[in-house]
Amino acid sequence: MSGIGIAVIILVVIGLYFIVTYNGFVTLRNRVKEAWSDIEVQMKRRYDLIPNLVETVKGYAAHESGTLEKVIQARNMAMGAHADIKEVAKSENMLSGALKSLFALSESYPELKANQNFLELQRELRDTEDKLQAARRFYNGNVLAYNTKAEMFPSNMVASWFHFEKQEFFELDEEEAAAAKKPVAVKF
């Protein structure tokens, strides 16, 4: 084989590497977008359930308007927060906290706890929260794969040349993460 033939083979191999690597980045980027879409679907489902839940609670706990207003305010803030992942995560964490307050409030109203509509809404919301948590894990897994490939040599050169930007993880805020690690206090 001549020197020109070897040079052509090397160029073809390098070209194929760039094509395969580029296509891999496109695939991973689209998986990240798909995973984010799954999160948005679950958030929308949660946003749709909250007004029904608040209306049900209003009938039993009318004088607890502060808690109900916080839930609605947190919901509206979360619905409007779509500028970046950190803003969405912060507003979603606030909404989760407000919902915890709402469910804690229900402990003071035995009639509310026994209301079938409330129980069904609570079950649907818990199911949605579980799906949302799974969607976040799926999203973060795809972001990890994408970011890892974007940082590893030699694929990081392809990422840099074609502007494949690092993606942000969907993370709990520090207070929420610390609260999740604390053991539950049991009082008698």
In this predicted model, what pLDDT tens digit does every residue of 68-114 receive, in sequence order?
888 888 888 888 877 778 888 888 888 888 888 888 877 788 787 77
In a domain, 187, yes or no: no
Structure-token pair, residue 15 = 């070209």
Mean pLDDT of the chain: 85
In a domain, 61, yes or no: yes
In a domain, 174, yes or no: no
- Using alpha carbons only, what angle is made at residue 175 by residues 169 and 180, rounded to the nearest 5 degrees? 80
CB atoms under 10 Å from CB of 127, counted, come to: 13
> What is the domain-level CATH number for residue 88?
1.20.1440.20
Q: Locate tokens 């004088």: which residue? A: 63
In a domain, 173, yes or no: no
In a domain, 185, yes or no: no
- Number of separate domains in the chain: 1
